[in-house]
Amino acid sequence: MNASTKTAIVTGASGGIGRAVAERLGRDGFAVVLNYAGNAANADEAVAELRAAGGQAVAVKANVADVGEIAGLFETTVRQLGGVNVVVHCAGIMPLRPMVEDQDLSLFDQVITTNLRGSYVVMAESARRLTRGGRIIAFSSSEVAKSFPRYGAYSASKAGVESLVHTLANELRGREITVNAVAPGPTATDLFLKGKSQAQIDELTNLAPLERLARPEDIVGTISFLAGPDGAWVNSQVLRPNGGFV
């Protein structure tokens, strides 16, 4: 790795916003480690595209909720690329949504394990491993401010992520490491579109004054800003690129 090259880990990078983030940071000059949980083919394809464009990239499989696997992700990054400067934690799930009164604890535990425990594990390892001046960027959701019916488990998990961001920012006092969250609104990815009828999609599309769903490329500029030199003074914040959704 060139001594001037910084390294970014992007979780959930095999598709959707995570892949778009990895591609943008690659264009910004970062060496990128693309973490994935299951879709190796997509992750390898993204790595090939980044390398073809002249960038440095590797794919590493790890379950974000598993302490040992995430430690291995960081160890692989340090071994192959020399250090970790930025972590963007995109990985998350949005499964079928029962009402709270249905008390579907199996689904609740699944969402909390991936979205909240996973964030805790990744952020904790980031705090241990990041170099001075590093950036930790987590993903929340603008749905937290809307509190739609049937999003109870998801909204609770993302509200927890926002709380972790503020707490960790305070815990890292004096180390020049910023901790922030990005909270998009409805975005046209498989994660968002899966299980929704066209009528539901149309309704959500029209909630923002700009009257369209976000595209992943609408979100990645905010990540680039937070990871780059102009974002150095932004800390313990939740940025909401959502077209006025809330």
Query: Which tens digits make up the pLDDT trace of 188-239?
Result: 888 788 778 899 888 888 899 999 999 999 999 999 999 999 999 999 999 9
CB-CB contact of 137 with 90 (8 Å): no
- Is residue 235 in a domain? yes
Q: Determine the Cα–Cα distance for residues 37 and 230; give it in Å rounded to an integer.
A: 31
Could you read off the pLDDT of 21-64 as tens digits, one per residue? 999 999 999 999 999 998 999 999 999 999 999 999 999 999 99
Rounded to 5, what percent of the chain is helix, strand, coil? 50, 15, 40
- Is residue 73 in a domain? yes
Here the CATH number for the domain that contains residue 150 is: 3.40.50.720
Domain total of the chain:
1
Question: Catalytic annotation on 36?
Answer: no
Identify the domain containing residue 43 by its residue range. Answer: 7-186+216-239
Active-site choice (36, 120, 151, 154): 154
- Is residue 120 in a domain? yes
- Is residue 26 in a domain? yes
Q: Compare 173 and 1 and report the one with higher pLDDT.
A: 173
Q: 1-5, 25-29, 149-153, 238-242 — which is least confidently predicted?
A: 1-5
- Is residue 51 in a domain? yes
| Per-residue confidence (pLDDT) for residue 163, from 0 to 100 | 98
- Is residue 196 in a domain? no
Classify strands 57-61 and 31-36 as parallel, antiparallel or unpaired: parallel
Helix (H) or strand (E) holding 137: strand 135-139
- Is residue 193 in a domain? no
Residue 19 identity: R
- Is residue 100 in a domain? yes
Residues 128-135: what's their mean pLDDT? 96
pLDDT of 1 over the 60 cut = no
Q: Determine the Cα–Cα distance for residues 229 and 224; give it in Å rounded to an integer.
A: 9
CB-CB contact of 84 with 7 (8 Å): yes
